[in-house]
Amino acid sequence: MQKKRMTKTQERAERLTRALRDAGVRITRQRTALLNVLAEADDHPDAVELHRRSEEQVPGISLSTVYRTLSALEDQGVIQRHQFEGDAARFEHAETEHHDHMIDVDTGKVIEFCSDRIERLQAEIAAEMGYEIVHHRMELYVRKKGRDGSVSADGFREDGAQD
Ligand SMILES: [Zn+2]
């Protein structure tokens, strides 16, 4: 039988499973479903939404188990928690390339973007003050312009579905 190449989602799921095992957490069918949901998600779901999606696949996971599992995964560094203003914490798998977030204040939609100009400018500003950047997070709270308005200016890409 020909060995199929693992998809990105499968690789992520494997990585999450290993991390959870390393954390000493028992891998149940319910937790496997949650890990698969996390591996598939590119839309920064919160815990309640992750719970809902897991339940669809394999019922029987409690919300508190979801929270505990997410904490364990975060401790292992394989998922990132985002605490956007006025919103429950949202999660994404951590192996994505660096990007920043825009949060649509009307819909709650999270849009990922990366701008070389902003990255450069931040580094310059820090350097001018005698620092180098170790890590940064930037969040822009946005509202969609009129229908034909140009929210996606030069240098920004809407790549929430990037794989
Ligand atoms: Zn993101």
* Structural domain contains residue 158: no
Here the CATH number for the domain that contains residue 119 is: 3.30.1490.190
Give the tens place of pLDDT for each residue, 28-56: 999 999 999 999 998 999 999 999 999 99
Read off the CATH number of the domain in which 78 is found.
Answer: 1.10.10.10
| Cα 3 to middle of ligand 1, angstroms | 31
63/135 same-domain check: no
Total tally of structural domains belonging to the chain: 2
Give the CA count within 13 Å in the CB-facing half-sphere of 96. 26
Count CA atoms within 13 Å of residue 74 on its CB side.
14
> Residues within 5 Å of ion ligand 1 by Cβ?
92, 112
Q: Please tell me the pTM assigned to this model.
A: 0.77
Compute the CA torsion angle 56, 59, 61, 63 (nearest 10 deg).
50
User: Which position has the token pair 């954390």?
Assistant: 23
* pLDDT surpassing 90 at residue 157: no
Same domain as 104, residue 45: no
Q: Are residues 72 and 114 in the same domain?
A: no
Give the domain range for residue 85: 8-96
